[in-house]
Structures are given as C-alpha cells and as structure tokens.
Amino acid sequence: MTLHVETQRSLRTLNTFGLEQRARLFAEARCDAEVLEAVARAEQEGLPLLPLGGGSNLLLTGDVEALVLHMASRGRRLLRETGDAVIVEAEAGEPWHDFVLWTLAQGLSGLENLSLIPGTVGAAPIQNVGAYGVEIRDVFAGLTALDLHGREICELSLEDCAFGYRESLFKREPGRYLILRVRFCLSRTARLQLEYGPIRQKLAEFGVVAPTPADVSRAVCAIRSEKLPDPAQLGNAGSFFKNPLVEAEHAERLRQAYPKLVGYPQVDGRVKLAAGWLIEQAGWKGFREGDAGVHQAQALVLVNYGGATGRQLFELARRIQADIRERFAVELEIEPNVL
C-alpha cells in the first residue's frame, strides 16, 4: 500500500471559503492505483468516500465523516488531430486555469471564455461549468471515471454525462462516479464567442481590434478579477446561486413591475434571469452579519470575512432564498455542494 492516510485533517486550505472543518480520514491520490487504494480503505473503515478537487464549489457546514480523497493527479496531453480539431486530455487533479493557459499555448481555441475559473479539471464536468457563453458540454469529448458501484474504470461520452445548466449525471447520481481524466475537442481555428457579457467592451479597452483566443482569455481574466473576489484574499466559492429559469409569462410580469429586469431568452421559450440582479434589487448586496456576507461588488457571491462558519453562510443563503421567493416568486438554487 502506497497511500498515505491522515486522521482528523484540517480542510481549511482545501476549500475556497477557508472554513476550518476536519476530515475523519484524508488522503491524496496521484494515480489510478492510489484511487483504488482509497476506495478499499474507505470500505474497510466503513466510511463514505468524498472526492475533493480544488474545493471551489463546496460549502462545509461541519466536520466530514468520510475519507476525503484529494485528487492530486497531474498530466495533460494532445491525443489526436483531425483537420482543425484536436482532442486533448488532462488528469483530474490539474488546476483548471493552468490547463486553459496550456491549451492556448498549444495554439488551441475553445476554452478561452472559461479562463480563471477556480477548481480542477476533474470537477469541471460535475457542474458543467460555464462562463461568457461557453459551457463544458460545448467542447466535451469524453472522460474516464471509476464507477464506484462496480469498481470498474469506464468511459463516458457527451450523451452519457447528460449535461444541463450547471447540471450533469454526476450531480444526479452523487457518489457513483469518480472522475479520473477528461477530454476536450478544441480547434486550431479560432471560433470566438464574444457576444456574452462585456467581452467586446474589455477588448476595446485593451485596444484589440482583431482578437485572438489569448486576447479573449486576457479579457475574461480582467472581467472576472473586477467582478469576483480572489479566494486567496476573501473566502468565497464564486457564484453561490444559479441563474433561475422561469416561464416567459412570469418574466414578462416581472418586467412590467421592474423594467430593468435582466433576463436572457432561452431556446425552449423560458427566460434565464440574472440571480445577482434579483439579489441586488432585494437589497442584499454588501450585506454583512458578523463575518458572513454578500460581496460589495457582486451580489451573487457570498463571502467569508475570516471567521464565519459554514452554517452561518448557509443560513444567510437560506434567508436570501426566502426573500427572493417572497418578492419575485422565483426560486434560487444554491450552486455549490453543501456538506
């Protein structure tokens, strides 16, 4: 056995809220063999197995009675090229933004709009992470996972993963699959997505007339840095609520009452409302109670000013949900996984 297992390990540095909670058992896996060892050890101890990437989409409300397995595998590679299309693969433990920068350095386009998203490659498909008009499913080419039900390594396709808005097979069947590595289909020819959010405005500020994928990445990084706090400076998990989808009739009624309502029509006829706009209109932006609060510049982000507990942050989230429900008849769904 090569797996090193610790007891009562602090998870403070392994969740971006910076919450001081402990894992009953803790290990790091740098290869498939160590993952299998961890699965066996968890079964031996009678504990669930909790995979952990960068902890950027996690709210810990108490100590974790599990074997927490930090996915620390590294590696990224070009698998094959067919014309302009290039299939690349990265291990689950690769930091996401580093991987995006690596693809750009290879002359590949497709992930630039997803720059500066915290977390790891292995965690990205779980939420179907997305930003500025691009989601994981738009460039997804398959992944390798361990099916914990049958203890078999399997390959999952785009169809298998059943991606939706911040949704996937992995959220519908939690605890079944442990993602080992992920593949993406990128392009040698840039097909830039510039229409969502202030990307064009930021490129203009940079004086860029004919943008490259690297230019778009730089613009996205600048926008995210302006809008979202750095977890290294202020504990947070990025966007805390999903943008809610409502029927078009509901959106129109809200627009009659709130002419500046921010919403985006969807192909299915529904409207995606900006959760941050709703929260700001309700007066929560900049709210602080003790060390738990709502960010001053972005109402969609809950923050830990240093001494908040996960329970306090969760209770604040529930209060915001109740207020938005009462004011707008809209249900806000929490985006991070709450343990």
Question: Pick the catalytic residue: 137, 166, 181, 218?
Answer: 166
Q: What is the pLDDT of residue 1?
A: 55
How many angstroms separate the CA atoms of 307 and 315, rounded?
Answer: 15
Of 15, 42, 71, which residue sits at a domain end?
A: 71
* Token couple for 43: 């079964």
Q: Which domain holds residue 315?
A: 235-338
Can 24 be counted among the known catalytic residues? Answer: no
pLDDT digits (tens, 9 = 90+) for 306-333: 999 999 999 999 999 999 999 999 999 9
Q: What is the total count of domains within the chain? A: 3
pTM of the model: 0.88
Q: Quick one: which of 200, 227, 229, 225 has its CA closest to 215?
A: 200
Segment 191-209, tens digit of pLDDT: 999 987 799 999 999 999 9
Please tell me whether residues 51 and 186 are part of one structural domain: no
Alpha carbons 207 and 229: distance in angstroms, whole number: 26
Does the active-site annotation cover 218?
no
Query: Do the strands 64-71 and 22-29 form a parallel or antiparallel pair, or are they unpaired?
Result: parallel
Q: Which of 73, 168, 217, 239 is flagged as catalytic?
A: 239
* Residues 184, 116 share a domain: yes
Last residue of a domain, one of 71, 101, 120: 71
Residues 121 and 195 in one domain: yes
**276-312 burial by CB neighbour count: b if 16+ within 10 A, else e?**
bbbbbbbebbebeeeebbbbeebbbbbbbeeebbbeb
Cβ proximity of 75 and 32 under 8 Å:
no
Q: Choose the catalytic residue: 34, 89, 94, 335.
A: 335
If asked whether residues 212 and 304 sit together in one domain, one would say no
239 tagged catalytic: yes
Residue where a domain stops, chosen among 227, 250, 277: 227
Give the per-residue pLDDT at 9: 97
Q: For residue 45, what is the domain's CATH number?
A: 3.30.43.10
Instruction: Grade residue 166 by pLDDT with cuts at 50, 70 and 90.
Output: confident
Q: Mind listing the pLDDT tens digit for each residue in 233-246?
A: 999 998 999 999 99
CATH of the domain at 294: 3.90.78.10
